[in-house]
Structure 1
Amino acid sequence: MPRFPRAAVVAPAALVIGLLATAPAASDEPLVSNARVVAHFDLAAGQTPENVVAERGGSVDVSFAFARQVARVTRERRVRVLATLPAERSPRTPLLTSAVTLGLARAHDGTLYVNYATGTDRTGIWRVPAGGGTPEQIAELPSDGLPNGLALDERHGVLYAADSVLGTVWRVPQAGGAPTAWATGSALAHLPGPAGGFGANGVKVHKDAVWVTNSDLGTLLRIPVGDDGSAGPVETRATGLAGVDDFVFPGHSDLVLAALNPSNEVVQVRPDGTRATVLTVQDGLSNPTSLAVRGRDVYVAGAAYSTQRDPNLLKARLRAHFVRS
C-alpha cells in the first residue's frame, strides 16, 4: 500500500503471517527457490505495481498504483495496459492525495476487479472486461475511505474490500451494487493520531473465512463467514507483524507467504510462531507489496515506494508439496 513521506512515496509494507493447519512433511527443499526478476517497470511513469494476480498460461496482471492502470505482463515479459482508470482532476485521497489503483481480483472468466481511490465519488470497485477494455464502476465506496485489498468469493458472488482508513471490510455483490459494511471494529482500525496510517489492508477468502491484515497493528485476522453470509467474531491469528500488507496462501493449509516491504523480504510464518525468510533484496526485491501463486509459480510485485529504484515483478518456484490441485 503506498504511503507518502515528506519528500517521497513510501509504503507501509507487507508482511503476513499464517497458521498451518497441518504441518508439511519435512524436506530439505526450500519452500521458495529459483527467484529471478522477470519484468522491470517505469517508476517515473507511475508503474508502481501494488497488486498482482496470476493468469493462465504464465501471464500476470498488476495494478499500477500511480499510473491508475491495470496491465498484463506476458510470458514474453511484454507489458500491455488493459485499462486506465479515469483521471481525477482534484483527487483528495486520504493519506495519499493522488488517485491510485490498489487491490486486484480475477474471476474465472478473466474479468478483473480493481479498487480505485480518489477521495471523490469515483472511489470504489471497478470492473475491467476480460482481455482489457473500458473500466466500469460497479460500486461506490465512501470517498473518505481508502479501499485497499480486494478479494473475490466467486462461489457466493461477492467481493470483499479492506478499507485502510475506515477500518472496514466492505462486501459488494460481484454484479455490482450497494456496499455493506460487513466487518468493522478496533481490530480493523488504524492507530490513532500522528502514528496512525493504514489499518485493514490485505484481504483473502480462504476456507470459509475472510482473512485480513492490519498494517498499523501488525496483525493477521480471520473472520468466519456465517451460513447466512454474516461476519463472525474476529479472530487474531498472529501478532507482531509490523507493516503487514498483502499476502497469499500458497496451498490448502493456513500457511501464509507475505511481503515485508520495509526490509525487502518475503517470509513464511508457521503456526507455532516461528518464521523463515524465503526471499530478500539479493533476489531482486524492491519494496514487495503483494504475491500471487499459480501452480508452482510464485509472483511478487515490488513497487519501489521507498527504495525509489527498479519497481519490478519477481518470479520464483514453490516447493511441490504446496501446489494446489
Structure 2
Amino acid sequence: MYVRTALATAATLLASAATATAATEPLSHPRIAAHFSLATSQQPENITVDRTGSAYLTFSFARQIVPVTPGGHEHVLATLPAPAKASTPNLGKAFLGGIARADDGTLYVTYATGTADLTGLWTVRPGGRPHRVAALPADGLPNGLALDRHTGRLYVTDSVHGVIYRLPARGGKAVVWAKGRALEPSSFAGANGLKLHNGAVWATNLDKGTVLRIPFTAGGAAGRIQVRATGMPSIDDFAFTGHGDTLLAARDDNQVDLVRPDGTHTAALTAADGLQTPTSIAVHGDRVYVPSAAYLTNKDPNLLLAHLDQ
C-alpha cells in the first residue's frame, strides 16, 4: 500500500541474514536485509531504485521518503505535512503511496489525505523541500505512479475511483487517461500498481487479482484495456524482470508471483522467505528488492533482497 536503525553494509547484510528456503526460479538466495518497526509506523509501501542501486522507499503512514544506499546508509529525506484531520477513503489516515525518480534526482510521490489542500502529486528536488505540483480528487486514493521520461508525463492509479490519471511532471491539471470496469474496484480497491513498459501502461487491480495492459494509441491516448493475467488475489505493485513481458508481482497474501507473458503464474517467494504483506517490487540488474509493510500480518515489516537468475 519505514527504518529503525542504519543498515549495515550490503555485504554484511547478505552474510548475516538468515537463509530462506522457499524461493523458486528465477529468484534465489533471498535475504531479509532490514527489519523495521511497527511501533514507529515503519511500513514501506513503494520503492524506486537509482543507477547506483540506492533504494528510495515511501513509508506510507509515517509520510516519509527514505533513501537507502548500497552501503546501507539511510536517512529521512522528506516528511510530507500532516493534514489537520485525515479522512482518506478506505484508510482514514494520511497515505504516502507510489514513488518515481527522474534522471536528475527529482522524486515524485502520490499522497492521499482525504483533504483538498494536500491530496495529489508531490515532488522533492535534490536539496529542496517537498511541495505539491498537482491536486487530485480528495475523495479518491492516488496510489501507483510511473514517469514517462520521454514525454515528461506522469501516470497515477486511483484505487477508489478505478481510473488512471495523466499529468505533466512539471505540474498542472490531471486528466483521466484510462477508465473502465477492468480498473474499477469490486469491494475495496481497484487499480493499484503501475508501470510503463513496451509501449503500454500496465496496471494491477487488487480486488480482481488481475494484471492489465493498456497500449498507447498513435496519438498517446489509451487503447483498449487488455487482461494479461488473472487469479492473483490481493495483487499490489510489480516490476518487469527485463525487456520482455515477464514480471514479478507482489501480493498482499504474502506471496510474490512470477507472471509469464502468456498469463500463467507461479509463486517465486512466500511467507517462508520472510514476506509480511509485500507491497511492491524493484529490479536493478540481477537484484530484486521486495518491501513488506506488514499491513495484514502486523508483524516484522522488512526489506527482502533476492538474486534474479537471468
* Residue of structure 1 in register with 2:15 after alignment: none
- SS of the counterpart of 2:52? helix
Structure 2 residues not aligned, in runs of 5+: 2-23
The answer on whether the counterparts of 1:291 and 1:298 sit within 8 Å (CA) in structure 2 is yes
For the pair 1:257 / 2:261, whether they are aligned, the reply is: no
Give 1:109 shift: 1.4
1:45-97: CA deviations, max 9, x gaps? 11110001112323201000000011012223333111100011101100001
* Residue of structure 2 in register with 1:7 after alignment: none
The answer on whether the counterparts of 1:31 and 1:319 sit within 8 Å (CA) in structure 2 is yes
- SS of the counterpart of 1:228? coil
* Residue of structure 1 in register with 2:223 after alignment: 232
1:281-322: CA deviations, max 9, x gaps? 2222111100001111110010011111111111111113xx
One-letter amino acid of the structure 2 residue matched with residue 83 of structure 1: A
- Output the CA distance in 2 between the equivalents of 1:259 and 1:215: 10
* Residue of structure 1 in register with 2:95 after alignment: 100
For the pair 1:198 / 2:189, whether they are aligned, the reply is: yes
TM-score (norm 1): 0.85
TM-score (norm 2): 0.89
1:82-125: CA deviations, max 9, x gaps? 11000111011000010010011111111110000001121111
* Residue of structure 2 in register with 1:127 after alignment: 123
The count of corresponding residues between Structure 1 and Structure 2 is: 287
1:315 pairs, out of 299, 305, 309, with 305
Sort the Cα spacing of 1:79 and 1:208 in 2 relative to 1 into closer, same or farther, 3 A.
same
- SS of the counterpart of 1:187? helix
2:147 pairs, out of 136, 147, 152, with 152
Structure 1 residues not aligned, in runs of 5+: 2-28, 321-325
- Output the CA distance in 2 between the equivalents of 1:273 and 1:232: 20
Give 1:273 shift: 4.1
1:194-217: CA deviations, max 9, x gaps? xx1001001110011001111111
* Residue of structure 2 in register with 1:181 after alignment: 176
One-letter amino acid of the structure 1 residue matched with residue 299 of structure 2: R
- Output the CA distance in 1 between the equivalents of 2:68 and 2:109: 17
Q: Percent identity?
A: 53
For the pair 1:142 / 2:133, whether they are aligned, the reply is: no
The answer on whether the counterparts of 1:160 and 1:169 sit within 8 Å (CA) in structure 2 is yes
- Output the CA distance in 1 between the equivalents of 2:305 and 2:84: 36
The within-5 A match list for 1:153-172 is 153-172=148-167
1:130-188: CA deviations, max 9, x gaps? 3x541010110000000010011111110000000011100010111000111112111
The answer on whether the counterparts of 2:229 and 2:264 sit within 8 Å (CA) in structure 1 is no
